Structure 1
Amino acid sequence: MKKNIAIIMGGYSSEYQISLKSGEVVYKHLDKNKYNAYRVHIFKDKWCFVDNEGAEHPIDRNDFSVNISGQHINFDCVFNAIHGSPGEDGLVQAYFQLIGIPQTSCDFYQSALTFNKRDLLSTLKPYAIKTAQSYFLNEGDTVNTKAIVNAVGLPCFVKANKAGSSFGVSKVYKEDELHTAIENSFKEDDEIIIEEFLDGTEVSIGVITFHGKTKVLGITEIVSENDFFDYEAKYEGKSQEITPARISSEMERKVTETAVKIYNILKMKGYSRSEFIFKNNEPYLLEMNTVPGLTEASILPMQAKFSGISLTQLFESAIDEALTNNYIKK
């Protein structure tokens, strides 16, 4: 019997449009002979299944079911394609665990931890994971620009702590630019992380669970035409994403070992894509994404293709993993 799969997409953050594209790609590539796939849009004002004619059918949030033309549909598994909140910060993971529906991303704690850049980097430092020098601000804190410059130097990056796709990120060259950059970041989140500028090769590395085993995908080198890997560079063609990365075998070994170490330390499962910059040939972690972009042009699918994994195989493995390791009994 075919499994009913809800592909959740959309979300509450500025990344919702990217998420809708990712969800559509998952829907397109799932084998319809194996699965009944349902596109489910999740927004603050509505949760609904959207049929092929564009009609919306409300989701019953009590058990995440839907009625379609008098037929009551329950879902066997949820494929999580929501970037940002609530799909990447632990909220939907906790919800689905409570109601007993398996889902394809990591568990709620790992999701919440990795979505919070400050907490993630702080958690990993005792394990000798190298990270940039940083300075933290909460909304309402007094902004001491001299203290910031003393801590991280110039240039530096001002980032929204809990946001993706480079929303709320600025590169700052002068102390008098900090206030504007900080205000921009606070538009996305009430917490900020300010980091030193690391001048080196930037790479992205995918580590996933594939057929029950931890698998490292091809390493991608990021070469931005802009000042850094911002939204325009990521989604509007203003960058080169070169797989495999043009790095030495020793650099490849180091970043691979570090990425797998992080995946294992955090007891991850599902997809992850971690960003590193090399400083003196050593990989420094920037962040980890647990619901990375899934369009044909996104980095993780390109890495999977390089590794001989099709989109259909990539998506179906995540579903099989979730169904196999569902430890919650209804």
Structure 2
Amino acid sequence: MDCYFAAVEMREHPEYVGKPIAVGGATDRRGVIATCNYEARAFGVRSAMATAQALKLCPHLILAKGNMPLYQQISKQIRAIFQQYTDLIEPLSLDEAYLDVTDCQFYQGSATLIAEAIRRDIYQQTRLTASAGVAPNKFIAKIASDENKPNGICVVPPNQVESFVKDLPLQKINGVGKATLAKLNTYGLFTAADVRKMDLSELTRCLGSFAETLHQRCHGIDTRPVITSRVRKSIGVEHTLQHDIYKLEQSLEFVDKLYASLIKRINSNDATNHIGKVGVKLKFSDFQQTSLETSQFQLDKDYFIQLLDTAWQRSQGRGIRLIGLSVGLKSHNGQQLAQQLSFQF
């Protein structure tokens, strides 16, 4: 979906159309931007940006509080449209999913025509626009879905995968974050074509285990299937503080509240007997963050306090603006659950 939360707000409030708007928290509560429309992005406003910073970039930005129940309701409506074409659906979030239409018989099995039909159905039923990437695998489809936004489609047939991937900037590949990109750049690697020139063994010496995945993606290879069911691997809670705090003792009252909230979520998910790890997260005043976790099979607030004490030492004098607590879940056979696929636009 195109700027989903913001698009829903513009649908509900026609007076917002054509103006920069964002869905996010208020500045007096250390809020962040959940999403924004394309008019706001033209000013440099982005998701996960502090609301105060967004308002500096765009002083006339309209802030909407958001309406999660409505976003969820529309998401279910869109999912029902998907199900008219295929049962092989892998949701990534409320506004994004992979669909495997290999066996779909509509439109003589043309994935391009199916994608156009789905986009048309979504608009007719919700008055919202969607963009699509059509390709032989998930990696290419994901990249393609962002090529012609908003309200566009990008088709990469098998015989064009080579040319599509060749000049792809490495930062567009999932898993290549800032640190990995900087390391790749030091070796003169900036595009998929650069990586393809490097021997895999040499790339492995540079990147370790991620090298093989990167090597495959740079050749347009992705054999992952569409996963239609998921298992929760963690449960967490976090709180953005209204004002930065600088002493560990100041955090304890927030830990009490977060721990109570975490227990409630664990119980509601019937996960008490599946705890495998406990962890804490801190975000500092400069928006850098750190996390720390340890294997633990039972809940005790003292475990979180001990981890928090250790993590706090990484602040190096910086204030703390966010505190989070989490538990990692293990499966019924005792194994820690595998990392689930996750992408963000």
TM > 0.5: no
Return the structure number with greater helix share: 2
Provide the TM-score with structure 2 as the length reference: 0.28
Q: What TM-score results when the alignment is normalised by the length of structure 1?
A: 0.29
Report 1 or 2 for greater relative contact order, CA contacts < 8 Å, sequence distance ≥ 6: 1
